């Protein structure tokens, strides 16, 4: 295979992304607290919000006072140090989506992204997310309507098709390009696969050959080595990382270190435990800026983040048995004293 140069930056219209590695939008994960931790660990060129209902944005905006409209509801809340940041929308009504995109632009986001990838049944049954991959004329109408509504960079993310019998990679890419989008991201699985099986990187390479706009590859990138393999296998312009970041927030930093030196550091037990402590404390301080209960978020993050930690299973059990946020903090402090501090 011909050697491919790894891109150092990615450009969506006027939006420059450096390095060319993106945090994927993940429902229930990429809230403002998680995004800021990723940003502060360095190495991530672009972060994205959780995918957000266009109907929810429009309804919230319509009911808010003029002053309150400048402060988004929780899914769209972000801090200044999160730039560059893109808001991802889902829905099926072109006009509602256009109105939601205008709100996103007014709130100062650096770009807007349209979700055609979510495989969740309750989203798909409303013809949202990957459900729209069965109706390409509707996709085109949505993209045209949003594109005409806003001036900020506009991209979309999609899957390879509804199932293996209906692959629409090249068609989706060309529609996006013809509608004036500045980039596309492809998760290399069908909707039918969900997150099972393997991400088909050949489909990402196919998309890259089909369009002139930047292509971001997504799916099964769990290490810096995987990231480099995706760049080289597909020729893509950027790589998007989702699930791996929730269990290893250092992955973006590791990718940059690997590209620069050929190796990378693993976080120490002290660093891992300290990040968990800091994350939980920030979660409580900023609980009004996120959706969902802080206790639920603490338990969710413990499931992701304690994998691979020394005595992680014991800490995970203790956190999940906790009945309050105070008990969770006590579990982490006990773990630190018993398994980290003494080993330092």
Q: What is the pLDDT of residues 244-266, one digit of tens each?
A: 999 899 999 999 999 999 999 99
HEC readout, 311-333: CHHHHHHHHHHCCCHHHHHHHHH
Find out whether 146 and 156 touch, Cβ atoms under 8 Å. Answer: no
Using a 10 angstrom Cβ sphere, with 0-12 exposed, 13-18 middle and 19 or more buried, the burial of residue 46 is: buried
- State residue 1's pLDDT score: 40
Mean pLDDT of 300-328: 90
pLDDT at residue 12, rounded to an integer? 98
pLDDT of the residue at 342: 56
Does an H or E element contain 255, and which?
helix 251-261
Q: What pLDDT does 292 receive?
A: 84
Q: With bands split at pLDDT 50, 70 and 90, how would you rate the model's confidence at 63?
A: low
Question: Residue 194 corresponds to which tokens in the numbers above?
Answer: 């969900």
Q: Is the pLDDT of residue 64 over 80?
A: no
- The pairing of beta strand 47-48 with beta strand 85-90: parallel
| Active-site residue, 118 included | yes
User: What is the topology classification, in CATH, of domain 10-261?
Assistant: TIM Barrel (3.20.20)
For the segment 229-241, the average pLDDT, to the nearest whole number, is: 97
Average pLDDT over residues 83-89: 97
Find all residues with CB under 8 Å of 130, minimum gap 6, and list them. 116, 117, 118, 119, 124, 158, 159, 162, 191
pLDDT value at 331 more than 70:
yes
Among 50, 82, 56, CA closest to 157: 50
Is residue 308 over pLDDT 80? no
Query: How confident is the model over 147-155, as a mean pLDDT?
Result: 98
Rounded to an integer, what distance in angstroms lies between the CA atom of residue 145 and that of residue 228? 36
**Which one of 44, 118, 273, 331 is the catalytic residue?**
118
């Amino acid at each position: 295979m011909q050697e491919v140069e790894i891109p150092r930056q990615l450009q969506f219209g006027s939006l420059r992304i450096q390095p060319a590695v993106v945090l994927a939008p993940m429902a229930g994960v990429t809230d403002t607290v998680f995004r800021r931790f990723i940003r502060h660990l360095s190495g991530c060129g672009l972060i994205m919000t959780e995918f957000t209902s266009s109907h929810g944005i429009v309804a919230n905006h319509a009911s808010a006072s003029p002053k309150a409209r400048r402060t988004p509801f929780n899914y769209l809340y972000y801090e200044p140090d999160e730039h560059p940041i893109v808001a991802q929308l889902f829905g099926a009504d072109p006009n509602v989506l256009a109105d939601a995109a205008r709100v996103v632009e007014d709130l100062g986001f650096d770009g807007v992204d349209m979700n055609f990838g979510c495989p969740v049944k309750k989203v798909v049954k409303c013809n949202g997310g990957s459900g729209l991959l069965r109706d390409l004329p509707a996709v085109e109408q949505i993209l045209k309507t949003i594109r005409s509504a806003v001036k900020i960079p506009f991209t979309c993310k999609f899957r390879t098709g509804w199932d293996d019998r209906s692959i629409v990679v090249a068609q989706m890419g060309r529609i996006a390009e013809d509608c004036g989008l500045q980039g596309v991201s492809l998760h290399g699985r069908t909707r039918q696969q969900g997150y099972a099986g393997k991400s088909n990187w050949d489909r990402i390479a196919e998309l890259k050959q089909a369009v002139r706009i930047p292509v971001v590859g997504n799916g099964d990138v769990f290490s810096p080595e995987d990231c480099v393999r995706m760049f080289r296998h597909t020729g893509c312009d950027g790589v998007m990382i989702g699930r791996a970041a929730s269990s290893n927030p250092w992955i973006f930093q590791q990718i940059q270190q690997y590209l620069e030196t050929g190796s990378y550091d693993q976080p120490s037990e002290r660093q891992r435990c300290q990040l968990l402590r800091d994350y939980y404390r920030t979660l409580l301080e900023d609980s009004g800026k996120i959706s969902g209960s802080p206790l639920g978020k603490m338990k969710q993050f413990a499931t992701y983040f304690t994998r691979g930690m020394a005595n992680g299973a014991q800490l995970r059990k203790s956190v999940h048995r906790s009945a309050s946020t105070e008990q969770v903090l006590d579990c982490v402090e006990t773990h630190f004293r018993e398994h980290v501090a003494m080993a330092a």
